[in-house]
Amino acid sequence: MSDLITADLIDLDLRGADRHEATAVLAGLLAAAGRVTDVDGFLADVRAREEQMPTGIEGGIGIPHARSAHVTAPSLAFGRAAQGIDFGAEDGPADLVFLIAAPEGGGSEHMTILASLARKLIHADFKTALREAPDAEAVAALIKQNLPS
């Protein structure tokens, strides 16, 4: 199985007028890496999930996610957004955005990733390390060492 996250799936200067634009940027990284076969189809699945309940969580975090027929392998893209992007959290915009992409028939794997991320993101030191990491390689290594493989 390929790594869940690699440096090419990370944007340390994520920009977007809203969560849909920011998610599209991250989905583009997944497509460029061959992990998403149809960006528009995948984004429709992410939007459908987002309409059920916002995916922003307290502490400046956005975790859009979806199972999709357009995903070839469980994947995680990450963006750091200095300006913040509204993902619907009560405490304001997200500056750390994780896009979880799971194959449609992938069982509960994406929920395991989501739960593991949520548990780590409770810890201020993990969020601080993500905000201060000097480059994409450092972010990928940090996430890999903190999530189950």
Report the DSSP pairing between strands 65-68 and 10-11: unpaired
Q: Name the catalytic one among 20, 65, 110, 123.
A: 65
Distances (CA, A) of 36 to 27, 40, 118, 123: 7, 10, 24, 30
φ, ψ of residue 142 in degrees (nearest 5): -60, -45
Residue type, 95: D
Instruction: Tell me if residue 20 is catalytic.
Output: no
Q: Kindly list the catalytic residues.
A: 65
